[in-house]
C-alpha cells in the first residue's frame, strides 16, 4: 500500500483522477456537489473510459442545491447514448435529523489494484486544480483490507434510503428551481411560491427509484461473510467457525470476530439480512431472488 498527500500545488488532483479514470474499468465518485467546471475537466477521460467499456458511477448531493443542473444533463445525455454511466442523488433529509451529505470519495478499481482518494475536493475546477486542498491518495492491492473498507463506505452512501435516481422530468424541474433560487438569494424561505416548488420537488424525489443492493454488488469483507451465511436462521457465533478462513483473506486483521459482527450489521443496513434479535439472523428472502441477475 502506498499513501501520499496532494495539495493541488506540487501536484494536481485532476491529473491523478484523469489518469486513473482512463486506466481502470470501474470508477465511483461520491461528492457533496459538482459543477460544470469540474465535469468539463474530466469529460474527455470520462468518455474515453466509457468508450473502452468502463463503468463510471456518481453520487451527488442536492440538499443545498449546489450541484449544477448542467452536470446532471450531461450525464443523462451519456446514458441516453448507451454509455455505462450511472448517477444518483441524495435528497435533503435534514428534517429527519440526519447529518448533511458531505463526502468526497474517488474510488477507482482495477484488475489487481485500486486507487482511492478520501479528500476535501468536490467535483469542481477549484477542487480539482485551483484550490489549496488536502487530499489523501491511497494505492493498494485489491486484496488489501483498505480496499474492502473503502467499498463498504461507498456502499453505505449509495444504498442509503435517501438516495434516488433522477429522471429527465426531475432534472428539468430541478433546473428551473436552481435558476430561481440562484437569482433570488434573499427571503427565499419567506417566498411561498418558491417553497411550494421546493416541496413539490421533494415529493417527486420520494417517488423516484432508489438503487437496491444485491449480493452481486458486494465485495471484500461483505462478500466474504455473505457467501458463508446459512440459508436458514443462524447465530452470529455460527460465523466464527470461518474465523481462520477470514483471517487468511485478511491476515493483518487481528479482530476477526468483531469484524464479523460489524459486517453483519452492514448487511442488515443494506437490506440483505434480517436481525431477529439476540444475535439471530436470516437472509432477506426478497434479495435472494436477485442473485445472479
**3-state DSSP helix/strand/coil % of the chain, to nearest 5:** 45, 20, 35
Higher pLDDT, 64 or 151: 151
pLDDT attached to residue 285? 75
Percent of the chain surpassing pLDDT 90: 76
Q: Which residue has the cell 479514470?
A: 21
> DSSP code of 209?
-
CA distance linking residue 104 with residue 90, whole number of Å: 14
* In the chain, ranges of CATH 3.30.870.10 domains: 2-164
How much is the pLDDT for 198?
A: 85
Edge-to-edge strands, sheet with 234-235:
234-235, 280-283, 273-277
Residues 214 and 291: beta-carbon distance below 8 Å: yes
Nearest-10 Cα torsion for 238, 244, 245, 248? 150
pLDDT value at 289 more than 50: no
pLDDT tier at 292, thresholds 50, 70, 90 = very low
Fold type of domain 2-164: Endonuclease; Chain A (3.30.870)
CATH topology for 215-288 is: Arc Repressor Mutant, subunit A (1.10.10)
What does the pLDDT read at residue 153?
93
The more confident residue out of 183 and 140 is 140
Provide the Cα torsion 64, 36, 164, 108; round to 10°: -120
Which residue blocks in the chain are alpha helix, DSSP H? 13-23, 36-51, 69-80, 125, 145-158, 168-183, 192-207, 220-226, 243-249, 256-269, 285-288
Query: pLDDT tens, 96-130?
Result: 666 678 899 999 999 999 999 987 899 999 999 99
Average pLDDT over residues 16-39: 95
Question: In the beta sheet, which residues pair with residue 108?
Answer: 27, 115
In the predicted model, is pLDDT for residue 291 greater than 60? no
Q: Where in the chain is the domain with CATH 1.10.10.10?
A: 215-288
Q: Which of 66, 154, 61 is nearest to 116 (CA)?
A: 154
Dihedral sign for Cα atoms in the order 19, 104, 163, 88: negative
DSSP code of 215?
A: G
Q: And the C-alpha cell for 285?
A: 428472502
> Could you read off the pLDDT of 168-192 as tens digits, one per residue?
999 999 999 898 877 765 666 677 8
Rg over CA atoms, the chain: 21
Whole-model pTM: value is 0.89
Amino acid at each position: 500500500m502506498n499513501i501520499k498527500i496532494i495539495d493541488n500545488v506540487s501536484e494536481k488532483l485532476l491529473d491523478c483522477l484523469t489518469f486513473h479514470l482512463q486506466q481502470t474499468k470501474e470508477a465511483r465518485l461520491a461528492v457533496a456537489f459538482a459543477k460544470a467546471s469540474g465535469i468539463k475537466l474530466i469529460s474527455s477521460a470520462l468518455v474515453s473510459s466509457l468508450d473502452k467499456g468502463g463503468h463510471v458511477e456518481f453520487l451527488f448531493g442536492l440538499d443545498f442545491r449546489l450541484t449544477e443542473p448542467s452536470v446532471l444533463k450531461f450525464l443523462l445525455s451519456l446514458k441516453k447514448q448507451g454509455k455505462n454511466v450511472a448517477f444518483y442523488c441524495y435528497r435533503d433529509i435534514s428534517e429527519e435529523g440526519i447529518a448533511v451529505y458531505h463526502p468526497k470519495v474517488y474510488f477507482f478499481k482495477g484488475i489487481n489494484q485500486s486507487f482511492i482518494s478520501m479528500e476535501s475536493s468536490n467535483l469542481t475546477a477549484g477542487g480539482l486544480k485551483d484550490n489549496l486542498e488536502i487530499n489523501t491518495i491511497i494505492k493498494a492491492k485489491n486484496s488489501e483490507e483498505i480496499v474492502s473498507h473503502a467499498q463498504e463506505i461507498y456502499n453505505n452512501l449509495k444504498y442509503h434510503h435517501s438516495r434516488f435516481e433522477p429522471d429527465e422530468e426531475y432534472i428539468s424541474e430541478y433546473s428551473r428551481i436552481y435558476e430561481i433560487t440562484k437569482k433570488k438569494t434573499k427571503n427565499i424561505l419567506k417566498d411561498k411560491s418558491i417553497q411550494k416548488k421546493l416541496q413539490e420537488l421533494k415529493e417527486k424525489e420520494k417517488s423516484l427509484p432508489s438503487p437496491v443492493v444485491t449480493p452481486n454488488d458486494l465485495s471484500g469483507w461483505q462478500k466474504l461473510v455473505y457467501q458463508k451465511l446459512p440459508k436458514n436462521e443462524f447465530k452470529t457465533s455460527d460465523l466464527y467457525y470461518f474465523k481462520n478462513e477470514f483471517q487468511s483473506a485478511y491476515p493483518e486483521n487481528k479482530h476477526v470476530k468483531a469484524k464479523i459482527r460489524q459486517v453483519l450489521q452492514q448487511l442488515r443496513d443494506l437490506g440483505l439480512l434480517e436481525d431477529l434479535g439476540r444475535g439471530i439472523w436470516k437472509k432477506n428472502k426478497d434479495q435472494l431472488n436477485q442473485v445472479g441477475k
